[in-house]
A and B are shown apart, each in its own frame.
Chain A
Amino acid sequence: MWTWFYQLASPKWFYQFANKWLPWLRAATLILFLAGLALGLLFSPVDYQQGNTVRIMYIHVPAAFLSMFTYVLMAISGAIGYIWRIKMAHIVSVSCAPVGAIFTLLALVTGGIWGKPTWGTYWEWDARMTSELILLFLYLGFMALHNAFDERKTADRAAAILALVGLVNIPIIHFSVEWWNSLHQGATISKFEKPSMDTDMLKALLTMIVAFQFYFVTVLLQKVKAEILDREKLSGWVKKLVVKQGEGVQ
C-alpha cells in the first residue's frame, strides 16, 4: 500500500504509468462520449416544460460538476505538495488549472445558452452564476500567479496557497441555490434521495458525467507528462528516454 504512494510521488514512475494507461483512457473517453451523446440527443425524452432545451443539461451539469471537482483536486494536491514538499503533487496541481478553467468556462457558456430560451436571459447576477464566475477567476489567478515567479518552487508554493484559500468558494457554489433566492434550480441528483428525474434522462446524464471524468483524467495525464518532461529535463532518465526515442515520439 505504502510503496504505491511512494511510487506515485516519483515523476519517472508517474510518467511510465501515464504512458501505459493513456491509450486505454483515450479509447474509454471516446466510447463514453459517443454513448452519452446518443443517449442525450436521441434516446432521452423532452422535458414537459423546457422541451428539447433540456438536452443542454447533459453537457452543462457534467461541466459544472467537473469544474468544482477539478478545483478540489487542484487545491488538495497543492496542499500535499506544500506540506510534504512532494514535487509530483505540485505537478498534478498545476496541470489541473487549465482544464479546470475550461470546464468552468463551458459551464458558464452552456448555462447562458440554456438560460436564454428557459429564463429569457443569458446572464443574471445571481448567487450560482456569480460564484461560478469567481471560480473562473480563481483558476485564471492561479495560473497567472504561477507564471509570475521565475523560480518554480516559489511559484508552486504560492499558487498552492491561492488554491487553498479559494477552496472556500466551492461550498458557496454548491449551496448557493439553497442559501439565496436564485433562478437556478436545485440539485436533482442526490446521494440520499431517489432522483427526481426520468430514468432515461438519468442514464444519459450519468453517462455524460462519467465521460467527462474520463476526459479529465486523460487530458490531465497528458498535461502531467509535458510538465514532468520540462521539470525533469536535467535528470538522467528523461535524457535517456528522449535520446532513445529520438524523433519517434511517443
Chain B
Amino acid sequence: MYFHNFEEFIEMGGHGFYVWLAYAVVLFALVAYFVYSNRSAKSYQKNLVKFYKRMDSRNQHKTDLEQQSVEEN
C-alpha cells in the first residue's frame, strides 16, 4: 500500500483530478458498452418473438386466401 490515509489516496500527490478523471472516463465507457452489447442481444430476441408472430399470421392469411380462391374456382 503506497498511501498512508484516504485523503492522500484521493489527492494522488496533487494530481488527483487527472488520475480520477482518466479512470472515471474509462470505467464509464467500458460499463456502458458492456450493458449496451448485452442488451442488444436480448432486445433482438424480444423483437424476433414479434417478428415470428407477424410472419406466422401473414403465412396463415396467405394460405387462407389460397384456400378461398381454390374453393371459389
Contact = CB atoms under 8 A, between A and B. Distances in A.
The answer to whether A and B assemble together is yes
Interface of A: 37, 41-46, 51-53, 55-56, 59-60, 63, 98-99, 102, 105-106, 109-110, 113-114, 116-117, 215, 218-219, 222-223, 225-226, 229-230, 233, 238-239, 242-243, 245-247, 249
Contact of A219 (B12, B23, B37, B42): B37
A44 B40 contact: no
Nearest to A223: B37
Contact of A222 (B13, B18, B38): B38
B48 to A, nearest CB: 5
B52 A243 contact: yes
Chain A's interface: helix, strand, loop or mixed, by majority?
A: helix
Contacts of A116: 18
Contact of A110 (B1, B16, B25, B33): B25
Nearest to B33: A102
Contact of B18 (A46, A113, A229, A246): A113
23 contacts: A37-B23, A51-B12, A52-B16, A53-B12, A53-B15, A53-B18, A59-B22, A98-B37, A99-B33, A102-B30, A102-B33, A106-B29, A109-B22, A110-B25, A110-B26, A113-B21, A117-B15, A215-B30, A218-B34, A223-B40, A239-B48, A242-B48, A247-B46
Contacts of A238: 48
Question: In this complex, which of B42, B45, B49 has the most chain A Cβ atoms within 10 angstroms of its Cβ?
Answer: B45
Interface residues of B, number: 32
Contacts of B26: 59, 63, 106, 110
Contacts of A55: 12, 19
Interface of B: 1-3, 9, 12-16, 18-19, 21-23, 25-26, 29-30, 33-34, 37-38, 40-42, 44-46, 48-49, 51-52
B22 A56 contact: yes
Contacts of A223: 37, 40-41
Nearest to A232: B48
A52 B2 CA distance: 10
Given A114-B22, A116-B18, A219-B34, A229 B41 contact: yes
Nearest to A53: B15
A215 B2 CA distance: 27
A229 B48 contact: yes
Contacts of A42: 1-3, 9
Contacts of A59: 22-23, 26
B42 to A, nearest CB: 5
A59 B37 CA distance: 21
A214 to B, nearest CB: 11
A117 B1 CA distance: 24
